[in-house]
Each structure stands twice: as structure tokens, then as C-alpha cells.
Chain A
């Protein structure tokens, strides 16, 4: 009797476990079914939107949640669930959600991956929605351009990143140096500031991930007018920007910048070391986006640092590209109207300007340029650069090529090998030239 009883319990238990496992496997399907029903009955009932962010940080999540709360108060029939995966995994998480067609209505798309999303047909074109939006007229051309692939707008930028120069005002004064305006001046100034016995270096170099932010910028500015601005890895006659004598000059100077003006260790530095070195007084010049402004303000004394425009090439031009991430709608979302409503709310001049101020971005509406906040202090140079489009020439980054994703890594590794003397300058440029010529051929197939 006892034995029999135990067996029955065992059978039951294993049955329950199996069921729960099966239920777990089928989980996706059943939620899909439910939301399909929910979608059909959305009129008058509460709609639940799911939104995912990519550039997650505690502060940013808080700011987004604040906007969402206001949106929910104004739109009582719409509820928003914000998913905030950790920054390092966020883009992969979003990809997985999209590939598995998991419920998602608003997602953060980045300039780096928008082409990939469009290519896989994950994103909905937003043009039809934007056409009906009254504030769209004041969205800056740059913001529109970043969110556009081919003919269509695929995401609405939540703010723009633009690189500028941060420098130690007190160090320059102490040595009687002027603020550098060209790359050559920057290298000379930085070399003059360097005193390795005091552990003081002129330039916050970044040789690790993201190093192409410097190498490509220098090569582009050295090529100057010759660059095809719409296809910026190539010159106007269709060669890669790495094949020109100007590219060689730029990289010779780059070597000098590392050898004579940067900490030797910085060959493997990334974002955090680069910024930390500047805030802790190891380095004197930093090229970065406006989202570092707040940490500089927090950790450095006022008056010790200031901002200046990006350095120019030998022909007096600096090529620049605004970066951005923003909000898009998955092509399979069942609540596209409501999703756009949320995007429209977050992108309104009022919300967007507030978000940009709190987080350290350039707002996407032209009107914000009139705001005192952006006309003074560290943001001023960004507007100044924007006001001189002939000098600070804007180009479209080559995000449409599949190889862009890997370029950062390829570029960083070969550049390190060059700085260590393991690769010659000619071989380096040949490698880069071949990489992009190859991308071009693949694209034309």
C-alpha cells in the first residue's frame, strides 16, 4: 500500500513536471496568441506597449521612466513597460527579441545597427507617421539624416552626439600655449604639455575599442574636400580614403601623437580610461561626445577645463558626423499607432530638450539652439561648429555596409600593431584600403 502510494505520487509529480516543462517551451506561442487578441480589441481598452532601451545607464533609465510616467498620465488608456537590459548586452538582447518576434512596440535603434535592422526587415518606416506630426517641421536636418536609410526614416533620434575638444585651460596657460586649431597644432601642443616624469601627458589617447574615432576622423579631415560626403569611406573619384597620400600624412602624425604626447599604456585604453585620465589630471586634451560633460563638471574644478571645436586638417576643414540613437517601431508590432504616439511625445520639443539637458546631448529640434543652456558653457562650441558648415563639414558615416560592424575591431587591432612597430605604415593603409574596396565590391554585387 505504502509502496503503491509512493509510486502514484511519483507518477503524478513527474507528470506535473513534464507539463510545466512543456508549458515553458510553449510560452512564446501562448503570449503571442494573447497579444494578438489584445491587439484586435484595443479600442477603448488599455493598450500595453513594450519598449526596450539600448544605451542603458541608471540615470538614463530614470529619465526615460519619468517621461513615460508623464505620457501615461496624459494617455490613461496606454501603459508602457520599459525593458532596460544592461548596456553591454542590450543590442544582442534586442536582436534576439526581434528574431524571435517577441512582443515589442518601441525599441532603441542606433546609427550603428539601423542598416542591419532594415536589411533584416525588422523596422517599420516612420515617414507616414512623421508626416502627420506637427513638430516634425522643426526637427533638424542632421537628426533626420541620421535616422534615415535610403529614402525612409527608420528611427527618430532622441538626441545627437557630436565630438568636440576638451582641454586643460590651466595647463595651457601655465605653458603659455594657444588652444590648438589644427591636428598639427594639437600634436605640437600635446607634446609640449607632456612630461612623463610627472606622469603628465598631452593627449587622452584611445588605442583600444573605438580608436577609429580618432584615426578615421584624422584621415577624413586630411582628405578634406576630396571625400565623398555621402559615401564617406571613399573619395570623389571612388578610391578609398585610405589610399591617398593625405591618409599617409594623417597616420604619420597619428604615430607622433601616440609616441610623443600620449601615455604609452593608452594603446589599449577604451572610453572609461580615456575619460578617467583626463578627469584625474594625467592628460591635458580629450576628444569626446557631450555626454561626458556632466562627469567632467562633477569631478573637475571649474575654470581648469574648457571646450573648443574639433581640430581641422591641413586645408582648413574638419569632417564631422553626428551620432545618434533613437526610437523605432518593430515591423511586426501590433500597436503601431500607440507606439508612434509615445515616440512623438518623447520627441516633442519640450520633452526632448529637457532630456538632452539632463543627459548631455544636442536636442533634435532647431528651436533648442535658442535656449540659453546650449548657448553658453561647454555646449556652446557644439552649436558654433554647427553654425559653420563650410569649415565643419558634415558627412554620412558608412553604416550601410555590412562590414561597418567589424570595422572598429579590425581598425583598432591593426592600428595597435602599427603603433607597436609590428606593421609598417604602408601595410596598414593597404590593409584598410583592401577592407573597404572589398566592402564596396560586395555591396555592388
Chain B
């Protein structure tokens, strides 16, 4: 019996060590740094400064702007990613010629790095040299070029469009897998009861894949919230900070200011927001099967 316990403990050690070294340590270090004046310029002198970093963040209008932008960024992106991804999954469910290749194209964007996607979309939206303006001009839809990334009115819309494009593939993949697990008999039964296509979608398909929907939307919301890469690549938060979300704002503090203390404070605030959001979301949706894919 003792031997068995020892075996269990020893077997757990590698996993625990990995988690400790690569997850717990950075996490706690980050929290500690949030309370320090930790700047790259002077690493020999990192005093504790209490809540100064947090105060500075909430006093900064740029931070508050990034906070509201984060809400748009997450919910608008998530909504369109889900709706379009779901539509694609429904289309891809039925076999047709060339489905494999088509699926490859749909899933392709998911394989790219966010930063690269940002760089590509930056060129697509460029008002002097980008194809979007060129096409709109040639079609006669607009007379003057639109500064998609230079006009604060358009910039946030533009980065969200790029993000929607990026995330559609994720929902298409996950929901397609879930759709394929819906038993065919359910549809046969629904047919016999006289349910039409729309009715079937809402009374059979959606309830059946609900656990997947809840898990994927929750995960995706967290990822979008945490992902600065597309914004960093496309606008770098500009013009004049109008497209900063919390994650890109945090990155900005590290890359340009070398201020790890301020960045960590923003990070801790983000963790708090995500924690509250997750608790809220899961208690509202209250599904027992969440986590089953």
C-alpha cells in the first residue's frame, strides 16, 4: 500500500514540477511585479510601491479607453465569428464534391500567426496601396479613399473585421465536429413529426450541441480578450491610442516603456476581469455538460 502511494506521488512529480516552474512561478511573479516599480532601465532598484501601478492605470484615460474597446473587441468579434463559423459548419456538414479542399481553405486562417494576419490586413486596408480601397473605387462605391486604419471611426471596425476572419475557422472546426455527432435518427424523428429545417435547427441541432457552443464561446472569448497580436500587427493601438485593447495596452507598456510593473498591474486587472466573466458566464448558462466536446 505504501509502495502504491509512493508510486502515485512519484508519478505526479514531473507534472507538478512542470506546472510549478512554467505556470505557477510566472503567475505569482507577475502578481508581485504589479506592486513593484519594475523598469528595465534600472533593474538593480525595484522597490515595492503598493497600489501605485493600479492607481496609475485607472487614472490613465488610455487605459479606460482600452477597457471599453476590449468589450467591443470581444463581443462583436465573438458574435460574428460564431454566426459565420456556425453557418460554415452547417454548409460543410453535407458531403459535396471538393469538400476536403474547401474545408482546407476554411480552416487555413486558423493556422496563421495573429501577428502575420495583422500585417496582411494592414496592407489590405492601406488606403493608398491596399486592395479594399482600390476595389471600392473601381466599383464606384466610394469617390474618396477611406483611411480604414488612420480614421479613428474606422480603425476599430477594421481590426475587428480582421479578427472575425481569423476566428471563423475555430468555430467552423469545433462546431462541425459537434454537428457530426448528432445522431441521424433525431432528424428522422423530427421529420416524421413534421418539423421543418428551421425548426430542426433550433429544436434538435442547437440543443444537442449546446455544451460545445458554451465551451467554445467561453474559450474563444478568453482568447480574444488576451490576444494582442492582430492589433499589434495592424495598428499598434493607433491612431492616437484609439484601437488599444487591454492586452495590446499591456504589451505597449512592456515593449515601449520597459515598465514591467505597470504592465503586470494591467495583467492582474485582466485576470480579475476574466475570472468574474467566467463565473458569470458559467452560472448563467448553467449547463452540466460543459467541457464535453
Q: What residues make up the interface of A, taking CB atoms closer than 8 Å to B? A: 7, 10-11, 14-15, 17-18, 21-22, 25, 95, 99, 115-116, 119-121, 196, 199, 201, 207-209, 263-268, 270, 273, 276-277, 280, 282, 402, 405-406, 408-409, 412-414, 416-417, 420, 422
Q: Does B10 contact A (CB under 8 A)?
A: yes
Query: Which residues of B have CB within 8 Å of A264?
Result: 127, 145, 147, 150-151
Q: Verify B13–A409 contact, CB threshold 8 A.
A: no
Q: Verify A265–B240 contact, CB threshold 8 A.
A: no
Q: Verify A402–B41 contact, CB threshold 8 A.
A: yes
Distance of A208 Cα from B155 Cα, bound (Å): 14
Distance of A169 Cα from B160 Cα, bound (Å): 41
Q: Verify B257–A21 contact, CB threshold 8 A.
A: no
Q: Verify A409–B256 contact, CB threshold 8 A.
A: yes
* Interface CB pairs A-B, < 8 A, 22: A14-B7, A18-B10, A18-B13, A95-B40, A116-B40, A120-B41, A120-B42, A207-B150, A207-B238, A207-B239, A265-B127, A265-B149, A267-B147, A268-B235, A282-B128, A402-B42, A405-B256, A406-B256, A406-B258, A409-B252, A409-B257, A417-B241
Known: A120-B44, A416-B239. A273 touches B126 (CB 8 A): yes
Query: Which residues of B have CB within 8 Å of A22?
Result: 17
Q: Verify B10–A208 contact, CB threshold 8 A.
A: no
Question: Do most interface residues of chain B lie in helix, strand or loop, or is the interface mixed?
Answer: loop
Question: Do most interface residues of chain A lie in helix, strand or loop, or is the interface mixed?
Answer: helix
Which B235-272 residues have a C-beta within 8 angstroms of A? 235-241, 252, 256-259
- Nearest chain-A residue to B152 (Cβ)? A420
B136 to chain A, nearest CB (A): 13
Query: Which residues of B have CB within 8 Å of A268?
Result: 149-150, 155, 235-236, 238-239
Distance of A25 Cα from B25 Cα, bound (Å): 13
Which B6-60 residues have a C-beta within 8 angstroms of A? 7, 10-11, 13-14, 17-18, 21, 39-44
8 Å CB contact of B14 from A17, A276, A406: A17
Q: Does B139 contact A (CB under 8 A)?
A: no
Distance of A337 Cα from B179 Cα, bound (Å): 67
Q: Mark B113-136, 1 if CB is under 8 A from A, else 0.
A: 000000000000011110000000
Query: Which residues of B have CB within 8 Å of A115?
Result: 41
Query: Which residues of A have CB within 8 Å of B145?
Result: 199, 264-265
- Nearest chain-B residue to A11 (Cβ)? B7
Q: Verify A413–B241 contact, CB threshold 8 A.
A: yes
Distance of A265 Cα from B239 Cα, bound (Å): 10
Other A-B pairs, 9, CB within 8 Å; known A116-B258, A402-B41: A18-B10, A196-B144, A199-B145, A266-B128, A268-B236, A268-B239, A405-B41, A416-B238, A416-B240
Known: A25-B21, A208-B236, A266-B150. A15 touches B129 (CB 8 A): no
Q: Verify A265–B42 contact, CB threshold 8 A.
A: no
B42 to chain A, nearest CB (A): 6
Distance of A121 Cα from B45 Cα, bound (Å): 13
Q: Verify A21–B41 contact, CB threshold 8 A.
A: no
Q: Verify A263–B127 contact, CB threshold 8 A.
A: yes
A150 to chain B, nearest CB (A): 16
Distance of A362 Cα from B258 Cα, bound (Å): 30
8 Å CB contact of B240 from A402, A405, A422: A422
Query: Which residues of B have CB within 8 Å of A267?
Result: 147, 150, 238-239
Q: Verify A15–B10 contact, CB threshold 8 A.
A: yes
B53 to chain A, nearest CB (A): 15
Which B145-201 residues have a C-beta within 8 angstroms of A? 145, 147-152, 155
Q: Verify B41–A119 contact, CB threshold 8 A.
A: yes
| Residue with the highest number of chain A CB atoms closer than 10 Å, among B128, B236, B241 | B128
Distance of A10 Cα from B39 Cα, bound (Å): 46
A411 to chain B, nearest CB (A): 11
- Nearest chain-B residue to A409 (Cβ)? B256
Query: Which residues of B have CB within 8 Å of A120?
Result: 41-44
Query: Which residues of A have CB within 8 Å of B127?
Result: 263-265
Q: Verify B14–A18 contact, CB threshold 8 A.
A: yes
B64 to chain A, nearest CB (A): 15
Q: Verify B128–A413 contact, CB threshold 8 A.
A: no
B145 to chain A, nearest CB (A): 7
Distance of A422 Cα from B150 Cα, bound (Å): 14
Distance of A119 Cα from B237 Cα, bound (Å): 30
Q: Verify B238–A208 contact, CB threshold 8 A.
A: yes
Query: Which residues of A have CB within 8 Å of B151?
Result: 264
Known: A120-B42, A406-B257. A11 touches B150 (CB 8 A): no
Query: Which residues of B have CB within 8 Å of A273?
Result: 126, 129
8 Å CB contact of A420 from B11, B17, B240, B259: B240
Known: A265-B127, A406-B258. A209 touches B43 (CB 8 A): no
A382 to chain B, nearest CB (A): 29
Known: A268-B239, A420-B240. A21 touches B17 (CB 8 A): yes
B72 to chain A, nearest CB (A): 19
Q: Verify A10–B7 contact, CB threshold 8 A.
A: yes
- Nearest chain-B residue to A276 (Cβ)? B129
Q: Verify B41–A14 contact, CB threshold 8 A.
A: no
Distance of A7 Cα from B1 Cα, bound (Å): 13
B192 to chain A, nearest CB (A): 52
Query: Which residues of B have CB within 8 Å of A402?
Result: 39, 41-42
Q: Verify B257–A405 contact, CB threshold 8 A.
A: yes
B90 to chain A, nearest CB (A): 38
- Nearest chain-A residue to B234 (Cβ)? A268
Q: Verify B126–A209 contact, CB threshold 8 A.
A: no
